[in-house]
């Protein structure tokens, strides 16, 4: 009973922090004509409520796609429609066709913030609590501390409750999916993950680990027996979920193609969204373009091919190993590796997509607390230009410090830097066969952590206090992008080392029951 009292207290702390952040500004507040993501979410409610389904994704006089046109899968549209019905009941002016554009008021802000909180309470937070309760081989206090740290992760809080989005819905469904397949509830896990993809197409970042883990399970059971039956059941579950979600758009071929064009607008080019003023992304293409303007040198189709090849090759080893040796631990770490590969190398990445990497990192927080805390700090820092643009400096600093203190106290992270606790012992032993003096890896990682934190603090102070040169107005944003990208490349190598040198396949490790 005491456990649930403490867990309830943790949830209340998480909710209090979220609502406090929601009292601040949001994306595009008072900035016509386009405003920001807050207006985009409101506009989708306007469109889905006032127009028939077949017009939601098409350009028309009533639906100007250049003004925050709907570009997420059907489940997002249905969620917008549900919110619109509630908005209509409270104040029809909030979703009136045309006349509601750019609508801003304290009452409407309260309504929009509440919709995020309710979605969080229904989907994401219960998944976090259940995941932490199911962790094995750690004490009850550690489970509660783990839940506290995950719920205090500043990146998700600042984007959903500050900037304004509903990332907790797709991430929550994905987490339910992780829980399902890790507990051998494979059909329920597959269903939950399909809902995640049908809410935000960026959840495809997690799709290969899910596919490889489930396929590996089928191989393990035998494709001539139970494994084949499981494979058929999984295929039917996935197909049925997609058919139900997309059913209104199957009426005409052009209708379906238009939705797909909106979800995957490759015609925009590699840097259409990731190299705008103030919206720099800490991936390899945005960082590399500082030195070489790929967009101006290579045609678009070559850019796509290069992006695909880098992404595929960087995630291939981890996926192959997961397929051949499926384990819950391997699954969690492969989720991190694949999502990070997509973020660093794939086509048309947004800065907020780092949240798709942060979720699985949160899931391994109790296993590698030092490295996980470090990564989650960098992930929040990488969105600094966006957060400053939304006037969220103070909430960013306070939530980041609260998260860091919670992790440092809960897990004693600075004491968890040995080879074994960094899960680098197998790798170090392999290297020492050829280089006996290779005993300094933990010390190097500690120094790198110190350099990383100092650079993040200095860049934050410089960005906030100094004006960039007139000839280089984006200098500080580019530096934030570049430094974060270097950190992420290091983490990509680190997580792949853990995956490839894990010969025990997760035995004697914390597992999901």
pLDDT in tens, 231-265: 999 999 999 999 999 999 998 899 999 999 999 88
Q: What is the mean pLDDT of residues 323-345?
A: 95
pLDDT of 270 above 80:
no
- Among 38-52, 212-226, 278-292, the range scoring the smallest mean pLDDT is 278-292
Render pLDDT for 213-230 as a digit per residue (tens, 0 to 9): 999 999 999 888 899 999
pTM: 0.94
Mean pLDDT of 85-100: 96
pLDDT of residue 510: 42
Q: Taking residues 333-359, what's their average pLDDT?
A: 94
Average pLDDT over residues 269-279: 48
Number of H helices, E strands in the chain: 23, 2
Residue 276's pLDDT is 43
Tokens of 438: 């290779």
d(CA 492, CA 336): 8
Cα 415 to chain centroid distance, Å, stands at 28
The C-alpha atoms of residue 318 and residue 209 are separated, in whole angstroms, by 9
Residue 84: pLDDT above 60?
A: yes
Two tokens, residue 313: 């090759």
In angstroms, rounded to a whole number, what is the distance separating the alpha carbons of residues 285 and 348? 10
3-state class percentages of the chain: helix first, strand second, coil last, to nearest 5: 70, 0, 25
Average pLDDT over residues 391-419: 95
The pLDDT assigned to 294 comes to 77
pLDDT in tens, 477-488: 999 999 999 999
Give the per-residue SS3 of 418-449: CCCCCCCHHHHHHHHCCCCCCCCHHHHHHHHH
Beta-carbon contacts of 472 under 8 Å, excluding residues fewer than 6 positions away, are: none
Q: Are 295 and 270 in contact (CB under 8 A)?
A: yes
The region that residue 508 occupies, defined by phi over 0 for left and psi between -120 and 50 for alpha, beta otherwise, is left
Mean pLDDT, all residues of the chain: 92
Share of the chain above pLDDT 70, in %: 95
End-to-end CA distance of the chain: 21
What is the token pair recorded at 316? 């291939």
- Render pLDDT for 121-155 as a digit per residue (tens, 0 to 9): 999 999 999 999 998 878 889 999 999 999 999 99
pLDDT (mean) for 172-178? 98
Lowest model confidence (mean pLDDT) among 9-18, 292-301, 441-450 = 292-301
Preceding omega of 33 cis (within 30 degrees of 0): yes
């Amino acid at each position: 009973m005491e456990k649930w009292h403490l867990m309830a207290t943790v949830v209340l702390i998480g909710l209090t922090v979220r609502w406090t952040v929601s009292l601040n500004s949001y994306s595009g507040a008072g900035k016509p004509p386009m405003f920001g993501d807050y207006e985009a979410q409101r506009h989708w409610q306007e469109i889905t409520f006032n127009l028939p389904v077949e017009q939601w994704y098409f350009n028309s006089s009533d639906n100007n796609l250049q003004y925050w046109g709907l570009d997420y899968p059907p489940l997002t549209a249905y969620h917008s429609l549900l919110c619109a019905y509630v908005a209509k009941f409270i104040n029809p002016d909030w979703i009136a066709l045309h006349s509601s554009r750019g609508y801003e008021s304290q009452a409407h802000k309260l309504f929009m913030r509440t919709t995020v909180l309710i979605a969080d309470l229904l989907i994401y937070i219960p998944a976090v609590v259940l995941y932490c309760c199911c962790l094995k081989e750690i004490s009850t206090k550690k489970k509660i501390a783990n839940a506290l740290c995950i719920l205090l992760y500043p990146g998700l809080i600042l984007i959903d409750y500050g900037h304004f989005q509903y990332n907790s819905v797709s991430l929550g469904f994905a987490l339910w999916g992780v829980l399902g397949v890790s507990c051998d509830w494979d059909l329920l896990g597959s269903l939950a993950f399909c809902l995640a993809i049908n809410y935000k197409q960026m959840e495809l970042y997690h799709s290969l680990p899910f596919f490889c883990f489930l396929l590996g399970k089928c191989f393990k059971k035998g494709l001539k027996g139970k494994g084949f039956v499981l494979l058929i059941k999984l295929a039917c579950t996935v197909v049925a979920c997609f058919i139900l979600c997309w059913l209104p758009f199957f009426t005409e071929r052009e209708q379906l193609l238009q939705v797909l064009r909106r979800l995957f607008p490759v015609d925009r080019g590699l840097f259409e969204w990731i190299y705008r003023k103030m919206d720099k992304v800490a991936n390899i293409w945005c960082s590399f373009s500082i030195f070489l303007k790929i967009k101006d040198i290579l045609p678009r189709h070559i850019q796509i091919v290069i992006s695909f090849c880098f992404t595929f090759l960087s995630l291939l080893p981890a996926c192959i190993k997961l397929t051949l040796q499926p384990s819950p631990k391997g699954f969690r770490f492969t989720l991190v590796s694949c999502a990070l590969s997509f973020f660093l190398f794939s086509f048309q990445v947004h800065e907020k997509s780092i949240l798709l990497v942060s979720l699985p990192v949160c899931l391994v927080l109790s296993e590698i607390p030092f490295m996980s805390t470090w990564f989650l700090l960098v992930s929040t820092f990488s969105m600094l230009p966006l957060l400053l643009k939304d006037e969220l400096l103070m909430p960013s600093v306070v939530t980041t410090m609260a998260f860091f203190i919670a992790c440092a106290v809960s897990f004693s992270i600075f004491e968890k830097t040995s080879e074994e606790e960094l899960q680098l012992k197998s790798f170090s032993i392999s290297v020492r066969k050829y280089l006996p003096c290779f005993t300094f890896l933990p010390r190097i990682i500690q120094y790198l952590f110190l350099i990383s934190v100092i650079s993040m603090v200095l860049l934050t102070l410089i960005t906030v206090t100094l004006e960039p040169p007139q000839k280089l107005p984006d200098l500080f944003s580019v530096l934030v992008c570049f430094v974060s990208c270097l950190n992420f490349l290091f983490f990509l190598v680190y997580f792949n080392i853990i995956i490839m040198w894990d010969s025990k396949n997760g035995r004697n490790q914390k597992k999901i029951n």
